[in-house]
Structure 1
Amino acid sequence: MAKTKNPVPLTGKDLLEKVKDLANLSKEEKAKACGYYTLTKNGIERVNMMAFLNALIDAEEIDLDGSSTGRGGRSASYKVSVQSNGNILIGSAYTKQMNLKPGDEFEISLGRKHIHLKQIDAQGEEDI
């Protein structure tokens, strides 16, 4: 039995151009046409969708690893939860966004279903 060779998959611009040319095909058919399949010992073709999709992401130069310049961290979701000890913690994403510094003071006012924080400047006047 002759051993069949697995195809060499397309990458980069070649991959993007081929995928555009095959717009009328399904994802699996596109992956196979671009070389993202292997042949088993029995000659059955298995499409490798994960490798195909990862190659597309790389070809489009999309950075999913978060290895961009600057510091990462979580982005502000604008939601907080009450902790088990009853405290509410406001994260650094919010304090950085407002340029707050250690020692800044706030006036707390309670509403029926909300809490307002009003920043107080050094002279004791409300700021905002």
Structure 2
Amino acid sequence: MPKKTKKQSKPLAGQALLTKVKALNDLTREEKAKACGYYKIAKSGTERINVMAFLNAVLDAEGMDLDAQVKRNKKMGGRQPNYRISVQSNGKLLVSSAYTKKMELQPGDELEIALGRKHIHLRLKTEED
């Protein structure tokens, strides 16, 4: 006769998860994860508790999105500035609008160019200059 195995229930989520976690206040996070259904029984019969999935589910239930900034940046699209430019075929240097926005430069702002041995410095001219 085949061995009967205990059917594992679906892990708790949302408000049910938060309620259960608060009720289990005196347990360790591993014990809470197991009590909330975040474990599996391996073929060998050993229990594997998935604490990371449990913690992520708690964060989701709390409404916390730790990837919000990353998602927001990806939605902006386009390339990210890499602080490198190349001399164009006509000998000019083109500075991207990403840099001028970062420096909060406006049309008509004047920059002073200072040449070094192997570098160029751009400095915003102020009214005192």
**Same fold by TM (over 0.5)?**
yes
Q: Which residue of 2 aligns with 1:99?
A: 104
1:50-89 CA distances to partner (integer Å, 9 max, x unpaired)? 211221222122221533496379xxxxxxx9x8xxxxx9
AA aligned opposite 1:12? G
CA RMSD of aligned residues (A): 4.0
AA aligned opposite 1:19? V
Does 1:67 pair with 2:71? Answer: yes
Q: What percentage of residue pairs aligned between the two structures are identical?
A: 50
Relative to its length, the structure with more helix (as a share) is: 2
Which residue among 28, 34, 37 is the counterpart of 2:36? Answer: 34
Q: Which residue of 2 aligns with 1:77?
A: none
1:82-125 CA distances to partner (integer Å, 9 max, x unpaired)? x8xxxxx9x93x7435531466333479xxxxxxx7532xxxxx
Q: Which residue of 1 aligns with 2:53?
A: 51
Task: Structure 2: give runs of 5+ residues left out of the alignment.
Answer: 85-94, 115-121
Contact 1:119–1:127 under 8 Å retained in 2 = no
Distance 2:17 2:8 in 1: 17
1:45 deviation in Å?
1.5
Task: Structure 1: give runs of 5+ residues left out of the alignment.
Answer: 74-80, 84-88, 110-116, 121-125
Distance 1:3 1:106 in 2: 76
1:29-50 CA distances to partner (integer Å, 9 max, x unpaired)? 1111111001123432210112
SS in 2 for 1:38: strand
Distance 2:13 2:37 in 1: 10
Distance 1:8 1:104 in 2: 62
Q: Which runs of 4+ in 1 moved over 6 A?
A: none
* Paired residue total: 110
Q: What TM-score comes out, normalization by structure 2 length?
A: 0.58
SS in 1 for 2:8: coil
Distance 1:108 1:26 in 2: 62
